Amino acid sequence: MSLVGKKAPLFSAKAVVNGHEIVDNFSLEQFIGKKHVVFFFYPLDFTFVCPTEIIAFQKKIDEFEKRNVAVVGCSVDSEFSHWAWLNTEQKAGGIKGVKFPLVADLSKTISENYDVLAGEHEYNEIGESCFNGAPVAYRGLFLIDKQGIVRHQVINDLPLGRSVDEAIRMVDALQHFEEHGEVCPANWHKGDDAMNASAEGVSKYLSEH
């Protein structure tokens, strides 16, 4: 299911913010009208690819903040697991030093609503409820604008880590379009020429590049 062009599913859930503080009612609604949001899912705490992604986001957090973008992570772990991981040194497999919020989706409903859960609930031949697949989230990433609309999404399978630089590039492209009304061609980066969304605009861009 693509959420692009649709309202991002809202939720209220427990989360760990600022690397140590557990809050009960974290919601993306707080950013509507104020910030763009990069909301990303990862499979599990205390794993192997996940900390490389989360720490990579933290290393580039200044780049997101100067663009007025909130970065928020989410997995099917509890807030207590998040807290423990956030307070474990990186050399011991932890992510200490990460300050952006990590949302707890222990019920898996947020992952289901964003359609990134790596499996589904079903019934077997005798009517018993069971789960088919891995009860964790794929590596989904959603760029949400200030109106709460999903403008970009990408979903990777569990072994495939994401590019934080690509997430920043997509933020730049969206913000350029919002500010200038120009569309961004293939491999566009901030500072490159964009183009008008017309046959003439495309022709002019291609003739110059």
Instruction: Please indicate, yes or no, whether residues 143 and 169 belong to a single structural domain of this protein.
Output: no
In a domain, 3, yes or no: no
177: phi then psi, degrees, rounded to nearest 5: -60, -45
**101 in the same domain as 57:** yes
Structure confidence at residue 58 (pLDDT): 98
Q: What is the mean pLDDT of residues 68-96?
A: 97
Q: Please choose, from the candidates 18, 88, 19, the residue with its C-alpha nearest in 3D space to the C-alpha of residue 47.
A: 88
How far apart CA 159 and CA 157 sit, in angstroms, is 6
The interaxial angle of helices 164-180 and 49-59, nearest 10 deg, is: 40
Look at the chain and report how many structural domains it folds into: 2
Do 31 and 85 lie in a common domain? yes
35 and 131 share one domain: yes
Residue 194 has pLDDT above 70, yes or no: yes
Q: For residue 112, what is the domain's CATH number?
A: 3.40.30.10
* pLDDT, position 123: 75
Residue 32 falls inside a structural domain: yes
Categorize the per-residue pLDDT at 202 as very low, low, confident or very high, splitting at 50, 70 and 90: low
Q: What does the pLDDT look like over 71-80, one tens digit per residue?
A: 999 999 999 9
Same domain, 167 and 157: no
The proportion of the chain whose per-residue pLDDT surpasses 90, expressed as a percent, equals 84
Active-site annotation, residues: 50
Do the domain assignments include residue 2? no
6 domain residue, yes or no: no
If asked whether residues 74 and 177 sit together in one domain, one would say no
Beta bridge partners of residue 148, listed in sequence order: none
The two three-digit tokens of residue 46, written as one number: 């205390």
Same domain, 124 and 168: no
Q: Where are the alpha helices (DSSP H) in the chain?
A: 49-59, 61-65, 79-86, 109-113, 164-180, 199-208
Give residue 66's pLDDT.
Answer: 98
pLDDT at 102 over 80: yes
Residues 27 and 81 in one domain: yes
Q: Which residues of 30-55 are buried (b: 16+ CB within 10 A; e: fewer)?
A: ebbeebbbbbbbbbbbebebbbebbb
Confidence at 209, pLDDT banded by 50, 70, 90 = confident
Question: Are 125 and 187 found together in one domain?
Answer: no
- Is pLDDT above 80 for 152? yes
Is the pLDDT at 22 greater than 70, yes or no?
yes
Predicted pLDDT of residue 122 = 75
* 93 and 180 belong to one structural domain: no
Would you say 14 and 104 are in contact if contact means Cβ atoms under 8 Å apart? yes
What does the pLDDT average to over 73-102?
97
CA distance 187 to 169: 9
Total residue count of the chain as it appears in this document: 209
pLDDT category of residue 196 using cuts at 50, 70 and 90: confident
CA distances from 62 to 2, 92, 177 (A): 29, 25, 22
Question: Which carries the bigger pLDDT value, residue 122 or residue 175?
Answer: 175
Q: What is the pTM of this model?
A: 0.92
Q: Residue 175 belongs to what domain range? A: 163-209
The phi, psi pair for 117, rounded to 5°, reads -70, 130
Both structure tokens of 198: 């017309």
In a domain, 8, yes or no: no
Q: Which of 41, 156, 53 is nearest to 105 (CA)?
A: 41
- Tell me, yes or no, whether 124 and 142 share the same domain: yes
- pLDDT of 200: 76
